[in-house]
Amino acid sequence: MHRRSMRRFVPALALLLAACATRPQQLSVPPQTVVTPSPHRQSDLLGLTAGELVQRFGSPALQIREGTSVKLQFRRRGCVLDAYLYAYATGAPERVAHVDTRLPSGADANQQACITALESP
């Protein structure tokens, strides 16, 4: 008899406690801030050819060709810029499709500061 009454008591107690629970508070989400683009953005380099990069930054410290793609690396003043160039059509020159910037330690670097450092003599 005791088991039967406990089987009824436990679910009833759970329902009673659930009825006493407060509603979860809704958190207000702060508005997202708009990031204004810097004067030198990755998009400033997108579409450039290897020759245009050399005119802008000088000779690359490293050049790696893999299949139809080329990686050019420029280094100066604590900054490393990797430009990845791909040919978009057969016979067309390779053009920059992606750019990474970092410190020599491998940590991310501010792209604008890195490009400015590479452009300065």
Domain count, the chain: 1
- On whether the CB atoms of residues 67 and 84 are closer than 8 A, the answer is no
- Domain with residue 106: its CATH number is 3.30.1450
> What are the angstrom distances between the C-alpha of 68 and each of 21, 76, 88, 115?
63, 27, 9, 25
Structural domain including 105 reads: 42-119
pLDDT tens, position by position, for the chain (121 residues)?
Answer: 556 665 666 666 666 666 665 666 665 555 554 444 444 455 689 999 999 999 999 999 999 999 889 999 999 878 999 999 999 888 889 999 999 999 999 999 998 889 989 987 6
77 in any annotated domain: yes
The whole-angstrom separation of Cα 2 and Cα 9 is 10
10 in any annotated domain: no
24 in any annotated domain: no
12 in any annotated domain: no
37 in any annotated domain: no
**pTM value surpassing 0.75:** no
88 in any annotated domain: yes
